[in-house]
Amino acid sequence: MRESNASAIDERDVLDAIARAFEQGSVSVISGAGVSTDSGIPDYRGLGSRQRQTITIDDFLGSRRARAHYWLRAHRGWSRFANALPNQGHRVLADLEQAGMLTGLVTQNVDGLHRLAGNRHVIELHGSLGNVVCVSCGQQFSRTDIHSAMVDANPWLNDLSPDFDIDLETNDSISSLTGSLSIPDCSVCAGVLKPDVVFFGESVPVRTYSAARETISRSKTLLVVGSSLAVNSAVRLVQTARKSRIPVFIVNRGKTHLDHVATGKVNLGASEVLSQLAASLEVSAVLEDIE
């Protein structure tokens, strides 16, 4: 019991320290999947997440079957992404930026919800699922348009069972549908289309990573929210802050890979902590909900 009380006191101290940092301004944020779970988007790395088969960039580019497998699985997931709305955590971060307390936001998420919430200075470290790009000519397309084109070419997609996403990982008979799937090609050069996100085996674009590192380096405090820090690109950004003697606070439900280097850690959900922060700083997101 004593350890639990001590932990609670420590976390309150950390929350107070985070609030003071925002009051002083020049705070940068790295956000992860835990920020978007309250919008109905699963965290595929967090506590209780289901193991999924990964497709590397070499698999995707080297095999038509692998591409069909990806687009089949992504078809079901896109509806969830396309209909998702920012939650209170997103809105708090947008309000903090508008209030001049948040100077930069680097997100590992590919759902676009930070921009939808109103953040203007967002660096999407791993790209955006809302865009599709041709790997040959670089032409970009709307994911909504590609989704519609796939349904037009494969009307049976609308008849898939609710459990299809799970079945695709485990059932060979379901996976055989990959052979009959018609995948849209680039309308400019007939090249291969891929979602404009960083696949396993790909590196974050140099310009994107440089912009993220610069954002972190010019801040006075770094807050990591909703990330287990399991991806190397985010780990290196935290290390950049540490080398520059910038305090690093982590808010995440469950352990992260860099808890041991954090100035302070709060083991709670992103929306819960950001709501408390909004109340403490009297920014509008939480006040609007109370009214």
Known catalytic residues are 126
Burial class (CB in 10 A: 0-12, 13-18, 19+), 282: exposed
pTM of the model: 0.89
Question: What is the pLDDT at residue 53?
Answer: 67
Residue 158 backbone phi and psi in degrees, to 5: -75, -10
Q: Nearest CA to 228 among 286, 291, 287, 270?
A: 270
Using CA atoms, how far residue 289 sits from 40, 119, 279, 285, in Å, is 19, 19, 11, 7
Domain parsing of the chain, residue ranges: 12-41+86-126+203-291, 50-83+130-197
Using CA atoms, how far residue 82 sits from 112, 149, 223, in Å, is 10, 16, 27
Q: Nearest CA to 71 among 218, 167, 186, 182?
A: 182
In this structure, the number of other CB atoms found within 10 A of the CB of residue 63 comes to 14
Q: What is the full DSSP assignment across 181-205?
A: PPPPPPTTT---EEEEE--BTPPPP
The topology (CATH level 3) of 50-83+130-197 is SIR2/SIRT2 'Small Domain' (3.30.1600)
Fold match between domain 12-41+86-126+203-291 and domain 50-83+130-197: no
In this structure, the number of other CB atoms found within 10 A of the CB of residue 235 comes to 16
**12-41+86-126+203-291, superfamily in CATH?**
TPP-binding domain (3.40.50.1220)
Question: What is the pLDDT at residue 245?
Answer: 96
What is the dihedral angle through the alpha carbons of 106, 260, 256, 249, rounded to the nearest 10 degrees?
-40
With b for 16 or more beta-carbon neighbours within 10 A and e for fewer, the 153-183 pattern comes to: ebeebeebeeebbeebeeeeebbebbeebeb
Each of the 291 residues of the chain gets a pLDDT tens digit; together they read 333 344 555 899 999 999 999 999 999 999 999 999 999 998 765 544 455 568 899 999 999 989 998 998 888 788 888 999 999 999 999 999 999 999 999 999 999 999 999 999 999 999 999 999 999 999 999 999 999 999 999 998 888 765 555 445 555 545 567 778 999 999 999 999 999 999 999 999 999 999 999 999 999 999 999 999 999 999 999 999 999 999 999 999 999 999 999 999 999 999 999 999 999 998 875 545 444
Question: What is the pLDDT at residue 232?
Answer: 94
Using CA atoms, how far residue 199 sits from 51, 57, 183, 195, 278, in Å, is 17, 5, 19, 9, 34
